[in-house]
Amino acid sequence: MKSANGGARVNRAGAAPYLFLAPALTMFALFLLVPIGYTVYLSLRRTKVSGLGFGKGSRKEIFVGLDNYATAVGDGELWAGWLRVLGYGALVLAVMLGLALVFALMLDAARVRLARFSRVAIFMPFAVPGVAAGLMWGFLYLPSVSPVHELFGVDLLSPSTVVYSMANVAVWGGTGFNMLVLYTNLRAISPDLYQAARIDGASELQIAIRIKIPILAPAIILTTVFSIIATIQVFTEPTVLRPLTNTISSTWSPLMKVYRDAFVTGDLYSAAATAMVIAGISLVLSFAFLRVVKNRAFGEA
């Protein structure tokens, strides 16, 4: 009898972690796995219209296999959007991560004034919702009210500058988060390491370049991967600025094309296939970056 009670206690103890994980796993399944599964289901089907499309049974959902994927891959608008996003992403990643690294190193310097205020001020734009940030900057970009246009005569929503205007919104909102990630990692480094370097005659710049940045490499890689994924999924900035100018099309980015196909033209099946293609390309780009970084770090062929 004692053995049976002991076995029951062991079973309950073994089940305890799964009970604690159950809410998170349930939410993960409901809000991630189920939507992904339903998207895959839609991407393999299409509506078949018979006759004039009126009456009961005139519209049927049929299985079409990979036809929707073939259509998505062969769509020139999708690849034109990808080219625009790649140029936009290169600009955003370089400026945003560069500023985040510089700010983190400056705040971690041995002598810095107003460090707490500076951290809050740099991070604060990240707390502003993307739509609100886009609207705020959009009004500053409008030629009729823009101080930049009034002072310098530059139209920030023209075809030659609108990409930089959108990139500015993303950099303004994302730099603070990446800075905080890097700064948190810097604060975890033992001060004794810096003190030893100063005793050896190293300047603050040499300490930053030769000690801090190499130690920050994993955090820099992490923020870069997250930034790549976020940049590929750019949607808020062009969508919010689009009503203010004619230079941003409804398919400027791949996700904007998915939105147009799904909710403007009503073709959920093509939109689902395009969304899966975007997800696949995002995974490939992210893993390719990690592979390149890994090869350079460890000297693999």
HEC-encoded secondary structure of 61-80:
EEECCCHHHHHHHCCHHHHH
Closest CA to 174 of 127, 141, 131: 127
Whether 91 shows a pLDDT value over 90: the answer reads yes
Average pLDDT of span 79-107:
94
Given a cut of 50, whether residue 260 has pLDDT beyond it is yes
The more confident residue out of 275 and 150 is 275
Which CATH number do you get for residue 127?
A: 1.10.3720.10
116 and 51 in one domain?
Answer: no
**C-alpha 18: how far from chain center:** 31
pLDDT, average across residues 151-168: 90
Same domain, 192 and 45: no
Residue 63: pLDDT band (50, 70, 90) is confident
Between 7 and 107, where is the model more confident?
107
For residues 209 and 145, is the Cβ–Cβ distance under 8 A? no
Report residue 13's pLDDT band, with 50, 70 and 90 as the boundaries.
Answer: low
Same domain, 242 and 135: yes
Residues 100 and 228 in one domain: yes
- Same structural domain for residues 241 and 289? yes
| Chain Cα centroid distance, residue 52 | 44
Same domain, 86 and 56: no
> Does residue 156 fall inside a structural domain?
yes
Q: Is residue 205 part of a domain?
A: yes
**216 and 107 inside one domain:** yes
36 assigned to some structural domain: no
Which helix or strand (DSSP H or E) is residue 100 part of?
A: helix 76-107
With tokens 């929707």, the residue in question is 68
Whether the predicted pLDDT of 89 surpasses 80: yes
Q: Are residues 10 and 105 located together in one domain of the fold? A: no
pLDDT of 301 over the 50 cut: no
In whole numbers, what is the pLDDT of the chain averaged over residues? 86
What average pLDDT does this structure show over 260-267?
Answer: 90
What type of residue sits at position 66?
L
pLDDT of residue 299: 54
User: What is the CA angle 127-289-74, rounded to 5?
Assistant: 95
Kindly state whether residue 31 falls inside one of the protein's structural domains: no
Q: Is the domain of 21 the same as that of 8? A: yes
Find the domain containing 56 and state its range: 2-26+41-63
Structure tokens at 9: 């206690």
* Phi, psi dihedrals of residue 188, rounded to the nearest 5°: -85, -10
Per the domain annotation, does 35 fall within a domain?
Answer: no
| pLDDT range class, residue 60, cuts 50, 70, 90 | confident
Answer whether residue 269 is part of any domain.
yes
- Cα torsion at 47, 52, 57, 63 (round to 10°)? -20
Beta-strand pair 45-49/59-63: antiparallel
CA distances from 192 to 135, 186, 199, 238 (A): 47, 13, 10, 47
pLDDT digits (tens, 9 = 90+) for 171-224: 999 999 999 999 999 988 888 888 888 888 888 888 888 889 999 998 999 899
pLDDT digits 0-9 by tens, 112-145: 777 788 888 999 999 999 899 999 999 899 888 8
In a domain, 264, yes or no: yes
Q: For residues 189 and 129, what is the distance between their CA atoms, to the nearest angstrom?
A: 32
Q: How far apart are CA 56 and CA 235, in angstroms?
A: 38
Residues above pLDDT 70, as percent of the chain: 89
Whether 118 and 197 share a structural domain: yes
Residue 83 has pLDDT above 90, yes or no: yes
Residue 6 has pLDDT above 60, yes or no: no
| Rounded percentage of the chain residues whose pLDDT exceeds 90 | 47
Q: Are residues 174 and 237 in the same domain?
A: yes
Tell me what pLDDT residue 58 has: 61
pLDDT of residue 144: 85
Q: How far apart are CA 250 and CA 253, in angstroms?
A: 8
The total number of structural domains in the chain stands at 2
How much is the pLDDT for 165? 94
Which tokens sit at 108?
Answer: 């971690």
Q: At residue 9, does pLDDT exceed 80? A: no
Residue 73 belongs to some domain of the structure: yes
Domain co-membership, 50 together with 111: no
